[in-house]
Amino acid sequence: MEISFEILVKKDLGDIVQVKLEKKKHLINFPWFCKHIKVKTPSGECFEFPCYCWLVDDKEVIIREGTARLPQDDTNKQRKNELESRQKIFRWKEWSPGFPESIDAKMGELPKDVQFDEEKDSDFKRNFLKAIEDLVIDKVDGFFESWKDIADFKEILVHYNIKNTLLENVMQDWNKDYMFGYQFLNGCNPVMIRKCMKLPDKFPVTHEMVKGCLKKGSTLQEELQAGNIYIVDYEILNGVPAASSERHLTAPICLLYKNELDQIVPIAIQLSQTPGEMSPIFLSSDNKYDWMLAKMWVRSSDFLVHQLVTHLLKTHLLSEVFEMAMYRQLSAVHPVYKLLMPHVRFTIAINAEAREKLIGEEGIFIKVVSSINGAGMGKLIQNAMKTLTYKSLCVPEDIKARGMEDVPKYYYRDDGMMIWESTYVPMKCLIYYDSDEVVQKDVEIQEFVKDVACFGMNNSDNFPKSLSSREQLVEYLTAVIFTASAQHAAVNFGQFDWYGWIPNSPSTMRKPPPQQKGQVDLKYIMESLPDRECSSSALGTVWALSQTQENELFLGMYPDMYFTEQPVKEAIKTFRHNLDEVTNIIKSRNETLTLHYCYLSPDKIPNSVAI
């Protein structure tokens, strides 16, 4: 329930720089959430005090007047006290060795201001209760056994409406090479594929092996030089221990070709990082079961890397690092605090709940990626942290580094670049930073960047520890906002579309990868794929993860207005207009496509990591 109070004070108080609120303790006590305070002086001058925080018993809250101020332009001593107080509350802690650091508090101990509001918390729990229902469906005879045939996987989809959805197309064409390749561009994990100009020594594919897949009269070397060959390498899984002797992992390499239809199709797969007699290179010309299983192994490996690295590490855990550093180093009147708050808020709460209920040893999520236990997840995250760079969070830099500027039908790239370029960060920053020197003298922004690299990212040399120009600041803040909003949307909300059909992306493999050709049949494949229980777990979980919350705030929607300056409010209007244009461009393009790509449509991108 929202209540407004009007308090009249006839005495002229002069320039009002801050307001102090205190909630007294009563017999029945509930915290109060204060949105903002507006003060009108007898002379008619108005002051705004954005608050958006909780009032708890016998604790006072000091709210500064809403004009954003850089630390070098602010003489109010409250600023220093505010940050010292926050740093005592928001303490770094290593949850697991090699992971980014997180808050030193369990779910029930979190500061009130970072906890979910009741509505968001109930939505979050309701979706996962639905997932749990799917995990504990009646365990009839054979529930823990293998499926008999590929078509039998439809049994667990009967409770879901899949008519006229992308999943329906996936079920129909999942085993076709074009669909396999398309997913590296526009599926749940569109950041693994890169152009291949020279084959690595560990993947000795020859022209003779793949000549039947290439344009007539063209050699493999010519196609490499022409930029038509792509590669996906899961070296990051090398050395990661499997959860048990009944679960298996490998680190495959897949070579893909842009054919004359502008399709990206697989042409060679090696199911390990070490070539040799026991690790043959599977080809599209091999018998159908060998090729089918080789592709399943690649898709299963992609599922694991997507869930634990692309999704968990590179959006959830990173966004928590940004939120922690924001609370620790940026005053509430700092323009960057006001800018980032709508995009990183609640990440701490989401991740705290995930650590307790989802990704611990007995968590729902870790059971879904059941090829990997806690030790395996730790090893994979450690491997990923060694290769994770700040530049990989910058869409233009990442696309260029992977050589993916020109590949056709790469809608993740096209839409991501539009979102990146439409950002309002440059407009906002330049209002407060009129020179590079202003950035350099901003001690809070410098400490924020340093906190991310040195504490949150475990003293990573791959993240900047200071910023020296406006251009660097704009890029950095754009990367933070994109990571927590658009990137998370791109890698999260398509999970039911692409993982709902279990054979397309098996969450685990129960038999080891074949070491010879010609020994695989359908029975071996069905014994390799997830059993009935594991399939149900995976389906329920990816369904829950794919749901947006009720009353979700999407990119450009800011009901909590932290800024009071008119130029910034105008910049937000411009940003919304730009996003509307991007939405219309994407909608028009999708009308011409059989497989719509909607994950980066601004009207479907939550402001922050929402689930």
Q: At what angle do helices 566-590 and 425-432 cross, to 10 degrees?
A: 160
Burial of 53-81, coded b for 16+ CB within 10 Å and e otherwise, reads bbbbeeeebbbbbbebbbbeebebebbee
Cα→Cα distances 293→286, 289, 391, 508, 604, Å:
11, 6, 35, 13, 35
175: CB partners within 8 A, 6+ apart: 292, 295, 503
Element (H, E) at 327: helix 318-329
Assign residue 94 a region: left if phi > 0, alpha if psi is -120 to 50, beta otherwise?
beta
For residue 469, the SS3 value is coil
Q: Whose CA is closest to 442, among 568, 556, 330?
A: 330
Q: Where are the alpha helices (DSSP H) in 3-117?
A: 78-89
Q: Is 611 annotated as contributing to ligand binding?
A: yes
Does 311 appear as a known binding residue? yes
For 514-535, give one letter per residue: b (16+ CB within 10 A) or e: beeeeebeeeebbebbbbbbbb
Q: What span, in angstroms and rounded, lies between the C-alpha atoms of 147 and 30?
A: 52
Report the candidate in 477, 449, 479 with the shortest Cα–Cα distance to residue 463.
449
**Closest-CA residue to 71 (of 290, 332, 285, 292):** 332
Is residue 207 a known part of a binding site? no
CA–CA separation, 371 vs 242, rounded Å?
6
d(CA 83, CA 99): 25
Q: Would you put residue 563 in left (φ > 0), alpha (ψ -120 to 50) or beta?
A: beta
CB distance 70 to 337 below 8 Å: no
Classify residue 459 as left (phi > 0), alpha (psi -120 to 50) or beta.
left
Alpha helices in 50-112 (DSSP H): 78-89
Binding site members for Fe cation: 311, 316, 488, 611
Binding site members: 311, 316, 488, 611
